[in-house]
């Protein structure tokens, strides 16, 4: 290992020591309760794996507050029970059915590498790797559905190829809307949403200036919160 790599690990270990001091030495009762009583989070957050947008740091959450699942481009696949591996779907099932969370938040962000990969594939570049292209294709239907109007000129003609490269935020937000739609394809999610036990939220974080945008439940458009 190089000195830089060693330093990266040292910083992480120092963080674990600080966490232990904060929660196990200065505030031991809160951790004892979580150990003895188990977790009872009210929120499931589906975030991106991007190292710049850690949902727990972003929301200043305490231990036990958020049940977290992170993947490339914060995507929710459609409900598809079979014998394959479904990590994100398993986390959704566990949070909703076992933990009885009250809120599900899909948290996307600006400058998302997974969405950039999807845009490049749409524009004809070869798919990257073995797993990335099939995964980000989950958002393809949402992009087609939510971006059809934006991709059309005022005269009715389609915009020139490559226009999405200049508007990645539109794709990022469309992917969030698509994930919210896919959440509703899970019967146990749909049942709880319809009877008011569960609420779905779409958030988009602007990495460049720290603004947070959310989906309006009435018109499905994004609007800034702050």
- 60-87 pLDDT, tens digit per residue, is 999 999 999 999 999 999 999 999 999 9
Q: What is the DSSP letter of 63?
A: T
Tokens read off for 198: 């569960």
**Does 115 lie in the same domain as 80?**
yes
How many residues in total does the chain contain?
226
Tokens read off for 156: 């009715």
The pTM (predicted TM-score) of the whole model is 0.91
Which of 35-39, 58-62, 122-126, 132-136 is the least confident region? 122-126
**Does 9 lie in the same domain as 116?**
no
Sequence-distant (6+) residues with CB within 8 A of 193 are: 184, 199, 200
For 6, other C-beta atoms within 10 Å of its C-beta total 10
Which of 28-37, 78-87, 120-129, 157-166 is the least confident region? 157-166
pLDDT in tens, 133-188: 999 999 988 888 766 666 555 555 565 556 667 788 999 999 999 999 999 999 99
Q: Which domain holds residue 14?
A: 1-38
**Does 183 lie in the same domain as 194?**
yes
**Does 118 lie in the same domain as 64?**
yes
Domain count, the chain: 2
């Amino acid at each position: 290992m190089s000195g830089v790599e060693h330093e990266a690990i040292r910083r992480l270990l120092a963080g674990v020591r600080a966490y232990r001091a904060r929660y196990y030495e200065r505030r031991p009762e809160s951790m004892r309760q979580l150990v003895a009583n188990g977790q009872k989070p009210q929120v499931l957050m589906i975030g991106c794996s991007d190292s710049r947008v850690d949902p727990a740091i972003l929301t200043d959450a305490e231990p036990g507050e958020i049940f977290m699942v992170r993947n490339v481009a914060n995507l929710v696949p459609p409900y598809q029970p079979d014998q394959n591996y479904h990590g994100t779907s398993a986390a959704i099932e566990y949070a909703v059915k076992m933990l009885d969370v009250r809120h599900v938040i899909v948290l996307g962000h600006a400058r998302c590498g997974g969405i950039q990969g999807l845009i490049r594939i749409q524009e004809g570049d070869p798919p990257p790797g073995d797993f990335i292209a099939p995964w980000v294709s989950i958002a393809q239907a949402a992009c087609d559905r939510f971006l059809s109007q934006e991709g059309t000129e005022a005269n009715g003609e389609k915009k020139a190829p490559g226009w999405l490269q200049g508007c990645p935020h539109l794709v990022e937000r469309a992917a969030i809307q698509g994930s919210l739609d896919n959440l509703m394809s899970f019967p146990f999610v749909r049942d709880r949403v319809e009877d008011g036990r569960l609420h779905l939220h779409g958030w988009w974080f602007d990495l460049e200036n720290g603004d947070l945008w959310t989906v309006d439940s009435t018109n499905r458009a994004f609007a800034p919160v702050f």
